[in-house]
Amino acid sequence: MFELKGFPEPVEAFSVSWAPLGEEASGAGGWPLPALLRSVPPVSYVGRVDQRAALEEALVLARDGARQVVLLSGEPGIGKTRLSSYGAHRAHAGGLRGLLGRLL
């Protein structure tokens, strides 16, 4: 359990192990974009200026060696996948690695 700023109670944390499959050996540093994010074309993005700035700040910190976690939440259809793909494509182009997950 971890105490996190902004959460009233301790939060349970998990360790996730991962080993690449043969077909996953492509992409930046041998790490591909997740299939869901590859399916969204890396086209221009209009709007969401504050959210994109927050992603860019996380990318700068990650490039400088600081581990980053970005969480997106919201109602269905508001553009979370589009914003995720924007950040993932930017990170991937810069040689960074990213993971995609969702709460069930």
CA 90/CA 96 separation, integer angstroms: 9
Q: What is the mean pLDDT of the chain?
A: 79
Work out how many domains the chain is built from and give that number.
Answer: 1
Structural domain includes residue 38: yes
Structural domain includes residue 54: yes
Which tens digit of pLDDT belongs to each residue from 35-65?
Answer: 777 776 666 778 889 999 999 999 999 989 8
Question: Could you tell me the residue range of the domain that residue 71 belongs to?
Answer: 30-93
Structural domain includes residue 68: yes
pLDDT computed for residue 28 by the predictor: 52
Strands (E), 10-84: none
Counting Cα atoms < 13 Å in the Cβ hemisphere of 102 gives: 8
pLDDT computed for residue 99 by the predictor: 72
From the list 62, 59, 79, 80, the residue with the least C-alpha distance to 71 is: 80
